[in-house]
Structure formats: structure tokens, C-alpha cells
A and B are shown apart, each in its own frame.
Chain A
Amino acid sequence: MTSIHTDVQIGICGSAGDGTIAVGDILKRAMARAGYRVIAFDEYPAEIRGFGKCVARTRITTEPVYSMKSETDILVSLNDAHAIPHVAEVRDFGAVVYDLAPISMVDEGWHISGHLNPGQLPYGLAMREMSEQATGSSRSRNMVALGFIAGLYQLPRPAFIDAIVAKFQTKAAAVTESNVAAFNAGYDNGAGTYRFDKVEVGPPARRTRLQDSTMMTGNAAVVRGCLDAGIETFFGYPITPATSIMERLSVEMPKHGARLLQTEDEISAISATIGAGFAGARAATATSGPGFALMSEMMGLGVMAEVPAVVFVSQRGGPSTGMPTKTEQSDLNIAVFGGHGDARRIVLAPTNVEGCWRCAGRAFEMAEAYQTPVVVLLDLYLSNRYETVAFPKKNPFLRDMCKKPARDKGDATYRRFELTVDGVSPRAIPGEAHGIHTATGLEHNEFGRPNDLSDMHFQMTEKRHEKLNAALKHPDITIYKRFGDSGEVEVGLLAWGSTFGEALEAMLLARDEGIRCAAMKVVMLSPLPVKPIKRFLKDCKEVIVPELNYEGQFANLVSGTLGRSVIRLNRVTGKPMAVAEILDAIRSAAGKRKLRKSVA
């Protein structure tokens, strides 16, 4: 039995108020507690009240995986009207669990049991009645359902009880008791139910190694990165899907003596961040597309005045207000190019939750070391999805990376914007007697005095651009990485952000099918690691760039920079890209080569 490689994706679908996200949360925490690897991603409605659809998806594995699966193994319906469209996601011989005793009579077609494909296995459960029997109320249907699947697949009951107790620890004891009672009623029923489906959950693998791992979202990892890097100020304005960064920091920063302020708008947030950065603090803000658009002008001041600042941007569906609760990767252009003038900045786009932590921490180092705003580009899928992550015991992030002016020199000779070999000038901060200066958004000379002579503008523009190249060699951060077959390959995938996970899975599946292929993730989007990308493209007969935007913004960046045409795989569905779609693209790219060869 130990040889079973568990890979099960569970989807729980209900209406807001059914406790869908709550049981999804318990499921993933319990499984992580039990020693499995977990990736999870929840779908919320944009509306807070009403009966919007919630889907909590959790992928539980023993081997490392990089994305959600497009197929679900087990679907639990807490609301048939919402769950019916998701039945098609359940694989053949997968399971669908639903309430056998809805509260009232429904017309034909409104019960989920009528929508199962013949290959799917139905598990009708009298959730409402069981909840009422166990707790006296029908409100714990969600716990009955969770208990049922836990019992059905013999998942470790104590881990679930622990997770339930932890979830309700701030509530009255009776709340925990009734939830545990409902869970146990479901568990016993599940354990006694004969299973026809072909979903197997084996024991957790390498349990000891994963024991000190934590499960968290991308946004929570960002927060941990900020704290580990010694964040001192945060200014922000609520916006989906970045808000949870500020919410979590609001709790954590004061514990470390650090300050957080909810500002009146995003302009104020970035302005205060740049102000704090100017005054020497490790400062950050977090926003999404609409807020980042408002920040563009101040980003330019940060570049011009060479002020360190970290800006987390979690992308959602755009343009304008767009789709606030759906994921997309359509803000690459604004992150890399946004704003007026030649305003190059560093842009990091992590591809997984661990990367969110690392990029967040390194972003503070880079902002300080290269005296510039750094954008960390996330997306809703990455911000909100859970993964089990193991952090190193020692905090790897460095402090005090600011290049300081020599102490013995007087003010008269201090050149804040000195033209140096690496383009990085000695930087004094207010309070330091030996470096008094005025920073400005005007073009300036080495002393920081306004100056718009042709040579000066050229030299300063060049300095502000070229100093960032050092970031390409910044220590202890992966800014690009190649996976899969080495040497020449039929198909190469070039991906960024959260979509890289799906790309990697698809590439591994394609290799299993015998296609020689490789995938490269690009974490640093600006400055772009041109040479390694070029080497990779040279190895690939066909290159696919999968991304969640319509125009192919990364494809444009790459083909514009390298003059190499690529196959664009663009989706704007508001959802993560399906692994199957990327796999199809790989197959057809590989097939195209073969076809060409056979014709020749």
C-alpha cells in the first residue's frame, strides 16, 4: 500500500453561507497536518451577500506537484444549482457526493443526481437530516459532507478533529462540539459506505520530512517574506485580491514594532511608501490592477529619485474594474512598462507560494541595493491558492544593503546621484549629517540639483537603466530555471507567474508520452534574463508561451526582445489555464514538427 502515489483533487461547491470555504479550509489543513502535500484554490463570488457560488478545490498528493488539476476526483455539492455545471469536471470513475434530502421538492433537472455522467459514481447522503440528528440544526451539512468523504476514503480522523478545533477555537465550545458531532456522523456513515469509485488515497509519503512544513496562501507567503525581510512600514488601500496581504500585515507588523496605515487611496499608499523609502524605511504597498494604474506616476518618481520601495501587485481580470474575483495575467505590460518616460524597474513574478515568500524578501533587498521601486507581480490564483511550503530554518534575507556615502566627506562634495561604474550611488537618508540633499522628480545632476542638459539627461537615464542589471545576478534567488529534457527538444514551454505550474505539469505529462520537451520559468520579467532565455529558445524547435491574457504580453516581450516567433497560448477565462490545454498544444506542436519532417 505504501507505494500508492496519492493524487486526489477534491472540489466542494456551494452557495455563500453553506460553509463551503470553511470546510475546504479544514480539509486542506487536516491533510497538511496529516503529512500530505496540498495545493488549494478557492473560487468566491464577487458579491458578499446573496447566494453566489463558492468552490473550494484542494489537490492532495504525496509527490510534488505544481498546479491544480483540470479534472476533479471528488466533487461535493452543498448546492446543486451551483454544483451542476461543475459535474463535468469530475473524471470517469470519480465520485460525486450530494444531499439526498433537499429541503423542498425540486422540478426535474434541479437535482444533481440527474446530471452525473455514466462514468461518475454517485454518493447520495442525507446531509440535512444527519446534521439535524447530530447537532439539532441543519447548518452543519457541510461538516457532515466533509466527514463523509473523510470516512469514505479512510482519511485520518484525528487530523480533521484537530483542524476543526483549531478553526473554531475563538468561538464558543458548543460550536466546536456540534461541528465535531456533525463531522463524526458523516465520518461513520462514510466509513460504512461501499465505495465503487476508483479514487485512491494512500498514506502520506516521507512524513517526517514534511512535518515542519506549513500550508499557506501566496499572499500569506508574501506577508511572511515581508516580515522576514524586516518590513518597517506598509501603506495600502483595500482591493481584491491583494487585501489579505494588508489584513495579515495589520496583525503581524505591530508585533514587530512596524507600522501599517490604510490610506485614503492607492495614490496616497504609493506616495507614503515612496516617502518612507526616502526616509530609509523598508517600505511596501500592495494592490491590484486598478490601484497599480493609479500608482504609475509615483512609480516614476521612485525611479527618478532612486527611492527603494516594494509594490506587490496581484493581478485580476481587467481592464477597468474587470473581474475582481477572477484570475488573469494581463498586467505584465503595466508592471514592466507602465507609466511615462524611460522608467525601467525591477519586476519579479513568482510561480508558486514558496516563490512568493522568496520574491517578497529579495524584493526588499533589491529595492535597497539598487535604489529603485521593485514590483512583485502576483495574480489572484497565486495570491489565494494554498500550498504546503517548507521554509529554511535560518532567515535568509539580508538587512542594511544600502550603499552609504563616505563619512569623512563634507556636504559640499556629497553627490547623491554620483555616476559610478555600477550606476549605484551612495545614498544618505534624512537624519544623517553627512549626506544632506534634495531628491527630485526633475532630471538632475550628480548633486541632485535640477539639470536638463542633454548629456546629463543621457548619463542619468543610462545610469538608472544599467544599474538594474546587477539584479540579474542578485544572490540566492532563482530568476529563471529550466526543467525537463536537456539539450535540444521538440517543444519548449516558456512561462511566467502562476501559469508556470500548469506548464510544468503539462510538460512532464508530454514527456511521459515520449515527446522530448522542456519548460523554463522566468521569474524576473525586468530586467529580462535575455541570455538564458535565448539559449533555451535555441534548444527548442517549437516554443509555446502559455499565459492568461489575450494579447500574449509575455510572448510580445520575449519575441520583441529576442526576435524569435513563438506559439502563443492565450486564455482569458478568469480561471487558471487547464493542464490539458497546454498538453494539447505541446502535442500539436510536436505533431506539426513530425508532419513537416515526413512531408520533407
Chain B
Amino acid sequence: MYSEHPVYLEDKLEEIRDSGRLRYRSKSMPTWCPGCGYYSMTEGVTWALNETGVRNEDVVIVSGIGCASRFPFFMKTYGFHTLHGRTLPVATGIKLANDKLTVIVVGGDGDGFAIGGGHIPHVARRNVDITYLLFDNGIYGLTKGQVSPTSAIGFTTPTSPFENHDQPLNPLMMLLSYGASWVGQAYAGQPDHLAEMIRAAIAHRGFSYLHILSPCVTFDKTDLTYHNLDLSVQDLPEDHDQTDRLAAIREATKVDRRSVGLYYVEERPTLSDSLDEIVVRAGGKAAQQAGAG
């Protein structure tokens, strides 16, 4: 966008500093490719945390392996860069150890739905109070462009030179059927909406799953590009009932529409609530009460 008035770097930096959005940023410079959707996500997370006003030391960002793995290093919060596919159980452990922490898991489609796919149903059904930001670019970026579980049929990569023949997963449908209590989708090409969705996901008490569509600008020149996504991404219908799981699943089946927004939300006891109830039944002192006291 072209402006008639010149923008001076010094003014812009001051504006950013004043906005408080650097409060959650570390001094490390991100290492993603220029144009990568992770920049929108970083921006979204810092904005959302700023909105919540949570203390830096009460936030833990958990990453696995992939382009998201360095995410915690760019944040001025606690971070745990763990193993490929194991973010969700590690985050579960962190949350159960200290309910006061805001735990955010970041990861890609390979980390989440290939190697780590077995953990998702369980964290969803248990309703662990963490936020899972899944960054789906349909490709393995960090290892230089191999096929992923969400790659389209016909997608050609170094490990699928004769085209991908495997049906891509539908993560939204999976999460909805696993019993996740908050399921939404956003698009890195719409950073303001993305930031708002991240805020809402963090604010949700329970397991929130935000599916983020984002192009891999380096290794995917044909499929999930900004151009193609700009054409297909649209808002959920205005009359969509966010409390109707079946309606949400119906929307999730419309893969060509790529609707963004909140598909489904429900309020139900979290895993910590259930464990505290067990403690009370056993005659012990519950952690959340103990913590509050």
C-alpha cells in the first residue's frame, strides 16, 4: 500500500515500542524465510498476550521440531523446545505441574499430524487447558520441502517425485470428532484476524486448536501459495452455530471453501478440574484451590 506521507523508521520503532508489543519479544531475530507465515503468527501471539496482560514469566511456549521449533527463542517468555511430535504431552505435563501457567504449543503439520498424530485425540478428549497453534503449510519446510500428511493429491516433492497419492488429512474434522472444546481456523494472509483468533484461543478455558493456513514461500510455488489461498479462503457463514458440533463438521468437510473463524466452542471441565475433583474425593487438597490460596 502506498502512502503519500513518508514513514520514518525511527517513528515506526517508537510506535511499536509504545504499543507494548515488544514486551513479549526476545532480542533474537527470527530466522524464518522472508514472507513466511510464522511472522504473522509471532505478531499474533505477542499482540494476543499483550491483550491478556499475562506476565511474561507465566507463559510457556512449547515447540517441537520443524520451522516452528525456534519460535520460543523469539519470545520473552519461558520456552521449551522439545522433540519432534511430542509437544502436546510435554505441554500437558507443564500445565498439570502448574495451572497458573499459560501454555501455548506451536508446531507444523508434520510435527502435529505425522509423527505426533497419536497424541492429539488424547489431549483433545482430556480437555487440557492449553492452546495449540498448528501452522499448516502442507509441506516439510525445515528438511527442504518433502510431502506432509496435509499435502494435496498430485503434489510433487523430492520424496514424492511421482506425485503424492495419499489422501490429505482433514485436521479440523479430526479435532472436531476428537472432542476438542475450541476449534478454529485462520489464515496467515489475514494477520489481524489471525491475531484475534489467537487471543480467543488463549482466552478459552480448555483445549483450543487453531488451524493456521500459511504458505511455504520457499518450497511450495504451486499449491498453498498466498495467491491460491487468497482465492479460496473465506469467512464461515454468518449463521454458523458455533455450539453445534455437527454443523462445524459439515463446514469442515467443505475443503475447497477453506472457511476461517471459530468452528466450535464448548465449556466443559478441564483435565486439571477433573484431577482436582479426584483429589477432593480422595480427601486431599486440590492444586487449583491450593494455588489460589
In the assembled complex, B60 has its CB within 8 A of some CB on chain A: yes
How many residue pairs, one in A and one in B, have C-beta atoms under 8 Å apart?
160
Please tell me if the beta carbons of B80 and A305 are within 8 angstroms of each other in the complex: yes
Which stretch (A109-117, A265-273, A379-387) binds chain B?
A265-273
Residues in B neighbouring A280, C-beta threshold 8 A: 97-98
Assuming the contacts A232-B97, A272-B90, asked whether A255 and B78 have C-beta atoms less than 8 A apart, the reply is: no
Report how far A438 CA is from B104 CA in the complex, Å: 13
Jot down 26 A-B pairs with beta carbons below 8 A, ordered by A: A251-B282, A254-B275, A254-B284, A261-B271, A261-B275, A263-B122, A268-B119, A272-B92, A273-B93, A274-B82, A275-B62, A275-B97, A276-B97, A278-B93, A279-B101, A298-B83, A301-B83, A305-B80, A430-B57, A430-B98, A433-B57, A436-B76, A438-B81, A440-B79, A441-B82, A450-B70
Q: Which residues of B contact A441 (CB under 8 A)?
A: 81-83
Given contacts A298-B86, A436-B57, whether A449 and B28 have CB atoms under 8 Å apart is yes
Q: Which residues of A contact B81 (CB under 8 A)?
A: 438-442
Q: Report yes or no: B284 in contact with A439, Cβ–Cβ below 8 A.
A: no
Q: Chain A residues near B100: list those with CB within 8 A.
A: 431
B93:A274 contact, CB within 8 angstroms: yes
Q: Which of A267, A275, A411, A430 contacts B92 (CB 8 A)?
A: A275
Q: Could you say which of B78, B275, B283 contacts A437, with CB atoms under 8 Å apart?
A: B78
| Interface bits B61-72 vs A (CB < 8 Å: 1, else 0) | 110000000101
Query: Which of B62, B73, B97 is A281 in contact with, Cβ under 8 Å?
Result: B97
Cβ-closest chain A residue relative to B122? A264
A257 close to B (CB within 8 Å): yes
Contacts of A437 in B (CB 8 A): 78-79
Q: What residues of B have a CB within 8 angstroms of the CB of A74 in the complex? A: none
Which residue of B60, B83, B290 is within 8 Å of A279 (Cβ)? B60
Is A82 interfacial (CB 8 A cutoff)? Answer: no
**A218, CB-defined interface residue at 8 Å:** no
Interface pair B57/A431, CB less than 8 Å apart: yes
Any A CB within 8 A of the CB of B58: yes
Chain A, 296-310, CB within 8 A of any chain B CB: 297-298, 301, 305
Q: State whether the Cβ of B201 lies closer than 8 Å to any Cβ in chain A.
A: no
Give the contacting residue for B286; candidates A257, A263, A278; CB below 8 A: A257
Q: How far is the CB of A385 from chain B (nearest CB, A)?
A: 28
A272's partner among B96, B279, B290 (CB-CB below 8 A) is B96
* Cβ of A327 under 8 Å from chain B: no
CB within 8 Å of B: which A415-473 residues:
430-433, 435-442, 449-450
Judge if A259 is at the interface, Cβ distance under 8 Å: yes
**What B residues does A281 contact at CB under 8 A?**
93, 96-98
Asked if residues B72 and A431 are in contact (CB atoms below 8 Å), the reply is no
**What's the nearest-Cβ distance from chain B to residue A277, in Å?**
7
- Judge whether A277 and B93 touch: CB under 8 Å: yes
B285 in the interface (beta carbon within 8 A): yes
The answer for the CA separation of A152 and B286 in the assembled complex, in Å, is 52
**Does chain A have a CB within 8 A of B278?**
yes
B76 touches A235 (CB 8 A): no
Q: Does A360 contact B (CB under 8 A)?
A: no
Instruction: Place the interface of chain B in its size category.
Output: 35 or more
Q: Does B183 contact A (CB under 8 A)?
A: no
Assess whether A134 is interfacial by the CB under 8 Å rule.
Answer: no
For A264, list chain B residues within 8 Å (CB): 118-119, 121-122
**Is B118 in contact with A257, judged by CB distance below 8 angstroms?**
no
Interface residues on A, range: 35 or more
- Check if B93 sits within 8 Å of A279, measured CB to CB: yes
Listed in ascending order, the chain B residues whose CB lies under 8 Å from chain A are 28, 55-62, 70, 72-73, 75-83, 86, 88-94, 96-98, 100-101, 118-119, 121-122, 126, 271, 275, 278-279, 281-287, 290
Q: Are B285 and A257 in contact (CB under 8 A)?
A: yes
Which of A265, A268, A279, A297 makes the CB contact (< 8 A) with B97?
A279
Asked whether A271 lies within 8 Å of B284 as measured between CB atoms, the reply is no
Q: Which residues of A contact B28 (CB under 8 A)?
A: 449
Specify the chain A residue showing the minimal Cβ separation from B284.
A257
Contact of A432 among B57, B59, B88 (CB under 8 A): B57
Closest chain B CB from A569 CB (angstroms): 40
Shortest Cβ distance from A287 into chain B, in angstroms?
14
Distance of A435 Cα from B57 Cα, bound (Å): 8
Would you call B91 and A275 a contact (CB within 8 A)? yes
A contact residues around B121 at 8 Å (CB): 264
Partner of A259, one of B118, B275, B283: B275
Once A261-B92, A279-B101 are accepted as A-B contacts, the answer to whether A430 and B76 lie under 8 Å apart by CB is no
A254's partner among B76, B122, B271, B278 (CB-CB below 8 A) is B278
Q: Please measure, in the bound complex, the distance between the C-alpha atom of A297 and the C-alpha atom of B286, giving whole angstroms.
A: 33
Contacts of B119 in A (CB 8 A): 264, 268
Contacts of B88 in A (CB 8 A): 268
Known: A257-B287, A298-B86. A271 touches B93 (CB 8 A): yes
A260 smallest CB distance to B (angstroms)? 8
Asked if residues B90 and A275 are in contact (CB atoms below 8 Å), the reply is: yes
The residues of A that contact B279 with a CB separation of less than 8 Å are 254, 257-259
Residues of B within 8 A of A305 (CB): 80
Known: A254-B281, A275-B91. A430 touches B82 (CB 8 A): no
Distance (whole angstroms) from the CB of A502 to the closest CB of chain B: 39
- Which A-B residue pairs are the 9 nearest by beta carbons? A275-B93, A438-B79, A272-B93, A254-B282, A271-B89, A281-B97, A279-B97, A275-B90, A276-B93
Any chain B CB within 8 A of the CB of A283? yes
B96 near A268 with CB under 8 A, answer no
- A440: chain B residues within 8 A (beta carbon): 73, 79-81
Query: Does A388 touch B at the CB level, under 8 Å?
Result: no
Residues of B within 8 A of A189 (CB): none
8 Å CB interface, A456-500 against B: none
C-alpha spacing A555/B232, complex, angstroms: 66
Contact A233 B96 (CB under 8 A): yes
Query: A587–B60 Cα gap in the complex (Å)?
Result: 62
Inter-chain contact B101/A430, CB cutoff 8 Å: yes
The distance in angstroms between the C-alpha atoms of A267 and B122, with both chains bound, is 13
- A207 on interface, CB distance cutoff 8 Å: no
The answer to whether B282 and A255 touch across the interface, beta carbons within 8 angstroms, is yes
**B96 and A267 form a contact (CB under 8 A):** no
Asked whether A268 and B80 contact (CB < 8 A) given A257-B279, A261-B271, the answer is: no
A256 close to B284 (CB less than 8 A):
yes
B231 to chain A minimum Cβ distance, whole angstroms, is 38
Contact call A278/B80, Cβ cutoff below 8 A: yes
Cα distance A217–B122 when bound, in Å? Answer: 32
CB contacts (< 8 Å) of A267 on chain B: these are 86, 89
Given the contacts A436-B57, A438-B72, A297 and B83 also touching, CB distance less than 8 Å: yes
- When C-beta atoms are compared, the residue in chain B nearest to A307 turns out to be B80
Bound CA span A256–B278, Å: 11
A275–B78 Cα distance when bound, in Å, is 12
List 9 additional contacts besides A268-B92, A276-B96; criterion CB under 8 Å. Answer: A263-B89, A268-B122, A272-B89, A273-B93, A275-B92, A279-B60, A430-B58, A433-B55, A438-B73
Residues in chain B near residue A272, CB distance under 8 A: 89-90, 92-93, 96
Q: Is the CB of B101 within 8 A of A271?
A: no
Q: Which residue in chain A gives the minimum CB-CB distance to B58?
A: A431
Residues of chain A with a CB closer than 8 A to B77's CB = 436
Cα A256 to Cα B284 with chains together (Å): 5
CB nearest to B98 among chain A residues? A279
- As a 0/1 sequence over residues 214 to 254 of chain A, the CB contacts with chain B under 8 angstroms (1 = contact) are 00000000000000000011010000000000000001001
Interface centre among A301, A436, A438, A450 (most CB of B within 10 A): A438
Determine the residue in chain A with the shortest Cβ distance to B64.
Answer: A441
Query: Are A255 and B92 in contact (CB-based, < 8 A)?
Result: no
Q: Would A430 and B282 count as touching, CB distance under 8 A?
A: no
Q: In whole angstroms, how far apart are the Cα atoms of A450 and B71 in the complex?
A: 12
How far, in whole Å, are A264 and B56 apart by their CA atoms in the complex? 31
Q: Which residues of B contact A450 (CB under 8 A)?
A: 70, 73
CB-nearest residue of chain A to B77: A436
**Cβ B93 vs Cβ A233 within 8 A:** yes
Docked CA distance A267–B118 (Å): 10
In the complex, chain A residues whose CB is within 8 Å of the CB of B56: 433, 436
Partner of A439, one of B79, B98, B118, B283: B79
Is the pair A438, B80 in contact by a Cβ cutoff of 8 Å? yes
